[in-house]
Amino acid sequence: MGSCPVNFKKVDQNVVRVMAGLVSAIGVIFIISQQLSLLTLLLYDFLVRALGYKNASPLFHLARFIAKTLNLKKEEIDAGPKEFALKMGFVFVLISFIMFVLGEAVAAALVVGVLAICAFLEVAFNYCIGCQIYMIFKKITKVF
């Protein structure tokens, strides 16, 4: 049996899920439009949140506004799994950004597509791919 990373900090699950919806939507729009500005927005947003500066994140503020407007009840959960998934998301966006700048637009779109699917699973089904990868990572590192 695996476990998610736990850090005993709390986040509002509904805000996280709305943010995942925004990431998924921006990802799909990037795939269609191939606009570097969308990747830049995602890269900035993931970076500031991964570094712990969520108040500098436009997606955090927008997600919080949407959650409040929709009257979504606050559901606090442990932040550990979401922070792990956030860092994975940052790596995906960084790889995609580099690929796009190097002229590999199709590869960049594929990477963003994987990120958008992962984010969609979070928003639609409350299923965190980051948690699953973390468990696999723990099993592999336990072997060594």
Kindly report, residue by residue over 69-128, the tens digit of the pLDDT: 999 999 998 888 888 889 999 999 999 999 999 999 999 999 999 999 999 999 999 898
Alpha helices in the chain (DSSP H): 13-33, 36-50, 58-69, 80-101, 105-125, 129-143
Domain ranges of the chain: 10-143
pTM listed for this prediction: 0.88
High-pLDDT (> 90) share of the chain, %: 74
Query: Confidence class of residue 144 from pLDDT cuts 50, 70 and 90?
Result: low
Query: Confidence class of residue 36 from pLDDT cuts 50, 70 and 90?
Result: very high
Closest to 59 measured CA to CA, from 73, 45, 47, 70: 45
Q: What is d(CA 32, CA 13) in angstroms, rounded to the nearest whole number?
A: 29
